Amino acid sequence: MSRVLLIVIVAVLLVLLGGLLLGAFPPAPHTEQVQHVLPNDRFQPR
């Protein structure tokens, strides 16, 4: 019984430690430029 409790406590501590490390050092975001071609109807002849 105590061995199962110890394994659960160690697993929870590892999850918390992993979350703390990911929070302290988040992965870099993937940046990509987005270009949209907008129609220019303002200067068209009427």
> Each residue of 1-46: pLDDT tens digit?
799 999 999 999 999 998 888 888 887 888 999 998 887 777 766 6
Output the pLDDT for position 9.
96
Residue 23 identity: G
pLDDT the model gives residue 46: 64
CA 8 to CA 30: how far, in whole Å?
A: 35
pLDDT score, position 29: 87
Whole-Å CA distances, 27 to 18, 21, 22, 40: 13, 11, 8, 39
pTM across the whole model: 0.53
- Extended beta strands in the chain, E state: none
